[in-house]
Amino acid sequence: MNSRTEVKTIPVEIDGFQMKVDKGSTILESAHNCGIHIPTMCYLEGLSPYGGCRICSVEVSTDGGKTFRVSASCTYEIHRPIVVKTDTPKIRRIRKMLAELLVASAPNVKLAQDIAARFGINKVRFKMEDNRCILCGLCVRMCHEQMGGKALAFAGRGPEKRVSAPFAIRSEICLNCGGCDSICPGKIIPCQGIKIPGELCGKCIRPDDMPFCCPTGTFGCFCENNPLEIVSQPR
C-alpha cells in the first residue's frame, strides 16, 4: 500500500496557458506559481485570503470559455477545469475604478497612492476623504491567525465598517506584540497628502513620466519589472 498521499491535479487555462494545478488551490496561487502576476492589496502569503479589495478580480469560465464571470482570484478555489482571463479590458476597467475609489477614500495612505499611480490615475472624480484605514483586514488576520491574540475584529457595516477591539475597549487578551501595527499599510511612509480635492499629491509619480516596464506599454502593470513595485517582505 502506498503511504504517500497523491494530490489530485486539475487542468486549467490561464491567459491561454495550459497547466495542471493542485485541486483546492486558488487562482491567485496557481497564477503566481506559473509566473502570471495578478495585483493584490489585501492578500498576504501566510494569512487566509479575505477578498475584500477585489483588486485581484479575474474573469472565470467553467464551461470551456463560452461564458465568463468576474471573481476574486484570491478566494476562488479550483475544484474543476476552468478558463481564466486575468487582463481583459473589463478587468482593467474594474481595477482602475477600484483604485480610484481606494485613493479617494484614503489619499494619505501610501499604498493607495501607489496603486492609483500604477493604474495611471492622476485625477480623482470622487469626494476625497481622509481615512487612514483601507479595511484590508491584514491586522485582524495577523492578530487571529499568527499571534493568537484575537483582540481585533471588524465592527459595523457599510460606510460604518471599521477595525476595532471588542466594544471599543482594549482587550485583556491583547499581547502587545505590535503585529497589527507592523503589517498595517497605513503605517508605511505616509504620503504628503493631496493639494486640492480631486487631485493626487504627485509625490509617488509624475503623470508625464509614467514608467512602462513591459513591451505593451500599458498602465497598471504589476510585474516584477515595474519600478513602482514595493518589496513588502524583509530582505
Q: 10 Å Cβ neighbour count for 173? A: 12
Q: What angle do CA 46, 50, 53 make, to 5 degrees?
A: 120
Q: What single letter denotes the amino acid at residue 162? A: R
Q: What confidence tens digit (pLDDT) does each residue in 160-189 have?
A: 888 988 887 777 888 888 888 888 888 776
Q: Taking 50 as the threshold, does the pLDDT of residue 226 lie above it? A: no
Same-domain check for residues 133 and 200 = yes
Same-domain check for residues 177 and 147 = yes
Q: 10 Å Cβ neighbour count for 28? A: 24
Cell numbers found for residue 22 = 493542485
pLDDT given at position 231: 37
Same-domain check for residues 17 and 104 = no
Cell numbers found for residue 138 = 491584514
**Of 37, 52, 87, which one is at a domain's C-terminal end?**
87
Domain total in the chain: 2
Compute the mean pLDDT over every residue in the chain, rounded to the nearest whole number: 81
Q: What confidence tens digit (pLDDT) does each residue in 45-63 have?
A: 999 999 999 999 999 999 9
Q: Taking 80 as the threshold, does the pLDDT of residue 214 lie above it? A: no
User: Is 67 part of any domain?
Assistant: yes
Same-domain check for residues 97 and 205 = yes
Q: What confidence tens digit (pLDDT) does each residue in 124-152 have?
A: 888 888 888 899 999 999 999 998 888 88
CATH code of 57's domain: 3.10.20.740
